[in-house]
Amino acid sequence: MVKKDQVMVVTIDGPAGAGKSTIAKKLAKVLGVSYLDTGAMYRALTLKAMREDVNMESEDDLIALAKRTTIDIESLDSGVKVLLDGEDVSQDIRTVEVTNNTFYVARAAGVRSIMVEWQREMGLRKSVVIEGRDVGTVVFPKATRKYYLDADVEERAKRRYDELIAKGEEVDLKDVLSDVKVRDEKDFTRKVGPLKKAKDAVVIDSTKMTIDEVVEEMKNRI
Ligand code: C5P
């Protein structure tokens, strides 16, 4: 039971396309707390590295980039607003190119520790639902409640595909499936902050569940 004056941290980790963002946003709204999308931070730094032609193979260059960057995430009713050095990049960070390049930033240990500090700062200020890959294992190991949200890879690829089509992008389901598998492999196997289930996380498989069913189940367990 969370006391009135206590900060509540709910973490949701899981692979790409499991429904984390939509569900985390809804759950945050139902609980009346903030929502923090940590993937957006990795995406924003990747976008800046791409724009500035930074050598993404070089961890030192990426750390230097992170140190001269400010990323702010504002949770809005409609979703999140991502500010990269004050510029609204909420749309620009969702392209296929940015998605496929995030692993450079995500595998750099020095960059991850900077990200983790930022996320802890944001999370400790007020109650939050935070989603990502390492938020229950590394960022908030003492979270109030931890979830690991999973779904079959074909279902996850189908959801990504529908999302991209709705945005007017021309994509092929087979390519999206292969991108999701490549991203899974990278997320599961990187040396720092890999995607894994925290021992005390409640595992929910969303393959055959609606968004509202997942949100309801999560809410009931808090
Ligand atoms: O969640 P989203 O798909 O927006 O995340 C983009 C990428 O950022 C992921 O594929 C992952 O490599 C990285 N990421 C991470 N740690 C997090 C959140 C995202 O490494 N906590």
What is the predicted pLDDT for the residue at 5? 60
Q: Which domains does the chain have, with CATH numbers?
A: 9-217 (3.40.50.300)
What is the predicted pLDDT for the residue at 118? 93
40 C-alpha to center of ligand 1: Å?
A: 7
181 C-alpha to center of ligand 1: Å?
A: 14
The CB of 132 under 6 Å from ligand 1? The reply is yes
Q: Determine the number of helices (DSSP H) and then strands (DSSP E) in the chain.
A: 8, 8
Rounded Cα gap, residues 73 and 38, in angstroms:
9
Rounded Cα gap, residues 60 and 135, in angstroms:
24
What is the predicted pLDDT for the residue at 182? 95
Residues 6+ apart with CB under 8 A from 200: 146
The CB of 39 under 6 Å from ligand 1? The reply is yes
Atom of ligand 1 nearest to the CA of 135: 21
14 C-alpha to center of ligand 1: Å?
A: 10
The CB of 102 under 6 Å from ligand 1? The reply is yes
Dihedral angle of Cα 106, 112, 115, 117, to the nearest 10 degrees: 160
Residues 6+ apart with CB under 8 A from 180: 15, 16, 17, 153, 156, 157, 160
Residue type at 121 in one-letter notation: E
Residues 6+ apart with CB under 8 A from 39: 21, 102, 131, 132, 133
What is the predicted pLDDT for the residue at 4? 53
What is the predicted pLDDT for the residue at 52? 98
Per-residue pLDDT of the chain (222 residues; tens, 9 = 90+): 555 567 899 999 999 999 999 999 999 999 999 999 999 999 999 999 999 999 999 999 999 999 999 999 988 877 789 999 999 999 999 988 999 999 999 999 999 999 999 999 988 889 999 999 999 999 999 999 999 999 999 999 999 999 889 989 899 999 999 999 999 999 999 999 999 999 999 999 999 999 999 999 999 999
Among candidates 166, 206, 168, 198, which has minimal Cα distance to 16?
206
What is the predicted pLDDT for the residue at 76? 81
Q: Which two tokens stand for residue 214?
A: 């997942």
Q: Which residues of 202-212 are buried (b: 16+ CB within 10 A; e: fewer)?
A: eebebeebeee
222 C-alpha to center of ligand 1: Å?
A: 25
172 C-alpha to center of ligand 1: Å?
A: 22
DSSP annotation of 137 reads: I
Among candidates 129, 178, 118, which has minimal Cα distance to 21?
129
